[in-house]
Amino acid sequence: MSLNSPWRSDFPALSALSAEGQTYLDSAATSQKPQVVLDALMGYYASGAANVHRAQHLPGERATRAFEGTRIRATHWLNAASPAEILFTRGTTEAINLLAYGLEHLFQPGDEIVISALEHHANLLPWQQLAIRRQLKLVVLPLDRSGLIDLEQARQLIGARTRLLAVSQLSNVLGRWQPLTELLPLARAQGALTVVDGAQGVVHGRHDVQALGCDFYAFSSHKLYGPDGIGVLYGRGDALARLKHWQFGGEMVHSATYQSADFHGAPLGFEAGTPAIASVIGLGAALDYLGSLDAAAIAGHEAVLHTKLLAGLAARDGVRLLGEPELALASFSIEGVHNADLAHLLTEQGIAVRAGHHCAMPLMQTLGVQGAIRVSLALYNNGDDLERFFSALDKTLELLR
């Protein structure tokens, strides 16, 4: 299979970056955008910005139609039952904070929230802080050696006091699909709510929230080739009905007096204030773009690149891979070499990779490392990107060793 991406030319930033000598291998942090997304952003502003849902005039009506069009596209993308199950948030982080506040009233002291040891801070801290506010117990599911949530232990730890399970679908550090089809039923059997952090998972393949059987699924547009500042929270209808409102203001209110108010249900009741209209429209364009591509071809291309990445790392002395990544990325450190030095010298050679704790400090502690370098791939990467990375890595190691 060719290592050249047939989609690379759809992304103007890739040639701009390469003209500057930059090799972009940090797509798990954020992705570059296809021209159609840039056109959608520009098209909205150039044809007349307007607020959504409230204006009677033509630009307002046009903006509302485009904005709600994205909600319909996201409904299809996730196979939600209805557009009313799609809430726009600022991103995955805000979606999970919304849940931690909106569901707070359901918890009693001593109840348990279950997460896993590999969670991004976005799917740890909102629950940790809720646990502190309500005197709950935060239970952390351990991992096996390959980087999977350990199901045996999960069977022991998910129990009668479990009220909510919140886990990542695909780790941003370990690059493994988590065993959600086994895990989620354990929580459901206890009558607990289930939350899936789809920030990384949504980028790779199509996911059906009804088949997954989760109550909530969150993702960010900016990782899925769409604009930043916007994300999606899917909630199953009856799970959404249990949420209390959390941010108050324009748009979310049905009627108000000075002393009281009553609020819309989902989705508008959870979208207070003027949303990121252009970004929502841009996300719609990203979903149209991705929907027009051959998903199997994308997965195949990414798999070939990933194999090359792992083979290249395995061929170098002293590389310590974190877990056993199966797609999209690889995190590693190198014996005797400080991550910060490695990152610095790679950066100097125009290699854009991520270094540090990857917003998962407790995971780093569990793995016994200070941090790691992460190379992450997207549909627009070519084999050459990896060759440039490996030659920069070799030069760096020659200098540091």
Give the torsion through C-alpha atoms of 93, 290, 212, 120, to 10 deg: -30
The residue range among 97-105, 195-203, 239-247, 322-330 that interacts with ligand PMP, by the rule CB under 6 A, is 195-203
The residue range among 8-16, 194-202, 292-300, 341-349 that interacts with ligand PMP, by the rule CB under 6 A, is 194-202
Burial zone of 121 (CB within 10 Å; 0-12 exposed, 13-18 middle, 19+ buried) = middle
x-marked contacts with ligand PMP along 260-289 as a string, rule CB under 6 A: ------------------------------
Place of tokens 């992450």: 376
Q: Where are the beta strands (DSSP E) in 136-288?
A: 137-141, 162-168, 193-197, 216-220, 231-235, 253-256, 261-263
Distance CA 352, CA 343 (A): 9
Answer yes or no whether residue 31 interacts with ligand PMP by CB under 6 A.
no
Answer yes or no whether residue 91 interacts with ligand PMP by CB under 6 A.
yes
Q: Which of 33, 73, 120, 207 binds ligand PMP (CB under 6 A)?
A: 120
Answer yes or no whether residue 23 interacts with ligand PMP by CB under 6 A.
no
Give min distance, CB of 130 to ligand PMP, in A.
17
x-marked contacts with ligand PMP along 159-178 as a string, rule CB under 6 A: ---------x---x------
Q: Which of 31, 123, 162, 331 binds ligand PMP (CB under 6 A)?
A: 123
Q: How many CA atoms lie within 13 A of 386 on its CB side?
A: 25
Give min distance, CB of 172 to ligand PMP, in A.
3
Find, among 237, 264, 277, the residue nearest to 70 by Cα: 277
**Token digits for 216?**
């909530």
x-marked contacts with ligand PMP along 212-251 as a string, rule CB under 6 A: --------x-------------------------------
Q: Which of 200, 279, 382, 396 binds ligand PMP (CB under 6 A)?
A: 200
Give the residues across from 330 on adjacent strands. 375
Binding-site size for ligand PMP (CB under 6 A) equals: 13
Answer yes or no whether residue 197 interacts with ligand PMP by CB under 6 A.
yes
- C-alpha R_g of the chain: 22
Q: What angle do CA 377, 340, 379 make, to 5 degrees?
A: 5
Cα separation of the two ends of the chain? 35
Looking at the Cβ atoms of 215 and 392, the one nearer to ligand PMP is 215
Answer yes or no whether residue 371 interacts with ligand PMP by CB under 6 A.
no
Give min distance, CB of 6 to ligand PMP, in A.
26
Find, among 218, 220, 245, 246, the residue nearest to 233 by Cα: 218
Burial zone of 317 (CB within 10 Å; 0-12 exposed, 13-18 middle, 19+ buried) = exposed
Give min distance, CB of 78 to ligand PMP, in A.
16
Give min distance, CB of 4 to ligand PMP, in A.
27
Is the backbone of residue 191 left (phi > 0), alpha (psi -120 to 50) or beta?
left
Answer yes or no whether residue 333 interacts with ligand PMP by CB under 6 A.
no
Find, among 86, 95, 94, the residue nearest to 67 by Cα: 86
Q: Hey, which residues are catalytic here?
A: 359
Where do contacts with ligand PMP occur on this chain (CB under 6 A)?
A: 91-93, 120, 122-123, 168, 172, 197, 199-200, 220, 359
